[in-house]
Amino acid sequence: MPDEADELILKMRHLEAGARAEEEARRLEERGKSLKSRAQQMAWAAQIELDAAEKQQREGEEKIERAKAPGMPALDAGDLLSEGKQQAAEGRTRVVKARARLNYALDQMDESERQELEALRAGARAETHAQLAEDPLFSKAAPPAPASPPEGEGEGA
């Protein structure tokens, strides 16, 4: 009778551990999916910002080149040069910030892939616990170890 109770307790523990592992796998998988989509959205926005910043920087540098071209009136060239320098500097600043955001988003996507791997491992643990709970060989209680013979009996008697 105690063997059956121990067997049932062991089976319940495995079922409980399996349920916990399944819940953890589901939670990790959901987190990974949401993180990946947010990271993808962030990367998309950062890429658009990066393109716009690079365009602004190029336009500023083109204005600087036009201001340095021969034949441009001095006052116009000075205005164009200062405008081009300011635009190019703002563009460079935006490029740096956009690249940082893009790199962060790419790092988050790597984190998402790591979360998916952890969810897969948690699912495997849940499946293992479920199999152990149902395994007929595992659920059978091990035969009790032979008791030591009473004193006076055995090898030396």
Q: Into how many domains does the chain fold?
A: 1
The pTM for the full model equals 0.54
* Residue 104 within a domain: yes
Task: State what percent of residues in the chain have pLDDT above 70.
Answer: 80
* Residue 30 within a domain: yes
| pLDDT tens by residue, 28-79 | 777 766 666 777 778 888 888 989 999 999 999 999 999 998 988 889 899 9
Contacts of 50 (CB under 8 A, 6+ apart): 95, 98, 99, 102
Q: Over 80: is that where the pLDDT of 85 sits?
A: yes
* Residue 145 within a domain: no
Which amino acid is residue 101, in one-letter code?
A: R
* Residue 19 within a domain: yes
CA–CA gap between residue 52 and residue 90 (Å, rounded): 11
Write the CATH number for 74.
1.10.287.620
Which stretches within the chain are classed as H helix?
A: 2-68, 74-134, 136-139
Range of the domain at 60: 7-137
